[in-house]
Structure 1
Amino acid sequence: MTGYLVTGATGQLGRPTAAALRADGHDVRGLTSSGREGTAAADLVTGEGVDTALEGIDTVVHLATANGRRDLEMARTLARAARRSGVGHLVLVSIVGVDRIPLSFYRDRLRIEEIVAGSGVPSTVQRATQFHSLVAGLFAAQRFVPAVVAPAWRFQPVAAEEVAVRLAELAVGEPRGRVPDIGGPEQRDLRDLHAAWKRASGDRRPLLPVRLPGKLFAAYEGGAALVRGEPFGRRVFEDYLRERYGA
């Protein structure tokens, strides 16, 4: 078997990952729940269609998410099916700080890492910082309030397209377990990022940074969502904003 399967193949990360693999001449099959855009249709919660989608596949890049507790069952279903099908490499994307930041979503992501590591399928896990789009979305989602309220944290956003290239490189290599975390080229204060977003979007509302006591804020302020050492990628937040807003 030499084929590659990318779950969540039409998503923000899945689409460029599949494209990067195809650009290198690899045989890639996308998997989505609907089967749209020429992908294989399978339900990662119930398992329907998963075994068929894995036929002829040696490497799986798991990027599908429901952004909730169903992600756990999706990971279990895929891991069991991958083992049955004799998949030789399972690549998972995760988030920097899932073992240090007390959020329920992050605890689930850490559990998914454990599911993959304990699946019996050789695996690679890549943690990355949040995408540029998440930071912009933090501001844009509050369009009906007079001020943008956001936690006063430092961010290290990274381009989804550059993470996709990294995942494609890992997929064609040997399983490596958990590899070093990657974070974007800049660590920046929230006020700085918001100012850049205001210039690009034309929004005039002020920013109201929030600090609260507790373990969550302490984790972020302690740098749990940042990556020390060599930054990854070249695309900064303003590059994303120019594409998003045409500014």
Structure 2
Amino acid sequence: MRIAVAGGTGVVGRHVVELARARGHEVDVLSRSKGVDLTAAGTVDLTGVEAIVDVTSVSTTIASKAKAFFTATARNLLAAGQAAGVGHYVLLSIAGIDGAPFGYYAGKLEQERLVSEGSMPWTILRATQFHEFAGQIHQRMKVGPLSLVPAMRSQPIAAREVASRLVDLAEAGPAGRVPDLAGPQEERMADLSRRWAKATGKKGIVVEAAIPGEFGQAMRDGTLLARPGAEHGSQTFDQWLQSAH
């Protein structure tokens, strides 16, 4: 099978590319670093592609910017896919975002809507935060010697396990919304960030901070955990830390 991986150089995308090739698939990597601007209309060529795996991402917490990015990429991939006769669009999304339609998640919800209402047969997998998120948020939220990590319940999942599931889904054919994929156990994000900092030798103090408003409430009350019936990965956060560092 020939698979186009949109965002194929990112945290999950690079694993999707590696695993798909290991299973004997031909893979096209669609990313800026490979000369493909997915936000530019008419620039994506999917000739010969049988399935798209969309793991695109953008670094923003502003809803308008997230919506603009995900709207552009989804529309361009759908248009290119329809023109090339692609038979399957596999989208990675985030567990619980319909209960927290704010910031980045607002963009992902719009992306889900466009894909599910588009003309191409589709599959959407929602996953919980990746193990890598603890380090990302630790670095993003630094204020002097402090890292202000949101009070948040999480079920971190290995990016490679998410990637493996995405390749499974691409191989299986369109399935609509499939069960969520979550990590093996619930954790607090501040605890994860502390363990990540210790393992990587990062200095400073992690302070758990409650984000105000509905979004902060959703982080704290379990809205962003996987729904009943979810599937679960096997690699814990601490196992990932040991293997990655």
SS state of the match for residue 209, structure 1?
strand
Aligned residue number for residue 58 of structure 1: 50
SS state of the match for residue 108, structure 2?
helix
Maintained 8 Å contact 1:102/1:215: no
Aligned residue number for residue 222 of structure 1: 221
Offset of residue 208 of structure 1: 2.0
User: Segments of 4+ in structure 1 off by > 6 A?
Assistant: none
How many percent identity over aligned positions?
35
C-alpha RMSD of matched pairs (Å): 2.0
Offset of residue 86 of structure 1: 1.1
Pair 1:239-2:239 in alignment: yes
SS state of the match for residue 132, structure 2?
helix
Offset of residue 65 of structure 1: 2.7
Q: Kindly provide the amino acid, as one letter, of the partner of residue 15 in structure 1.
A: R
SS state of the match for residue 217, structure 1?
helix
Aligned residue number for residue 62 of structure 2: none
Unaligned runs of 5+ in 1: 36-40
* Count of residue correspondences: 237
Offset of residue 144 of structure 1: 5.4
Offset of residue 48 of structure 1: 4.1
Aligned residue number for residue 115 of structure 2: 116
Q: How does 1:20-99 map to 2 (within 5 A)?
A: 20-35=19-34, 41-51=35-45, 54-67=46-59, 68=66, 69-99=68-98
Aligned residue number for residue 185 of structure 2: 186
Instruction: Summarize deviations over 1:59-85 as a string: whole Å, max 9, x none.
Output: 111122334332211111111121121
SS state of the match for residue 207, structure 1?
strand
Q: Kindly provide the amino acid, as one letter, of the partner of residue 161 in structure 1.
A: R
Unaligned runs of 5+ in 2: 60-65
Between 141-150 and 119-128, report the one with greater CA deviation. 141-150
TM-score relative to the length of structure 1: 0.87
Instruction: Summarize deviations over 1:1-36 as a string: whole Å, max 9, x none.
Output: x4211112222211111111111112222222342x
Offset of residue 49 of structure 1: 3.4
The separation in 1 between residues aligned to 2:211 and 2:31, in whole angstroms, is 39
TM-score relative to the length of structure 2: 0.88
The separation in 1 between residues aligned to 2:167 and 2:147, in whole angstroms, is 36
Maintained 8 Å contact 1:80/1:119: no
Maintained 8 Å contact 2:151/2:219: no
The separation in 2 between residues aligned to 1:143 and 1:212, in whole angstroms, is 15
SS state of the match for residue 57, structure 1?
coil
The separation in 2 between residues aligned to 1:198 and 1:124, in whole angstroms, is 36
SS state of the match for residue 172, structure 1?
helix
Instruction: Summarize deviations over 1:146-188 as a string: whole Å, max 9, x none.
Output: 2221222211111111100000000001201111111111101
Instruction: Summarize deviations over 1:180-206 as a string: whole Å, max 9, x none.
Output: 111111101234323422431334533
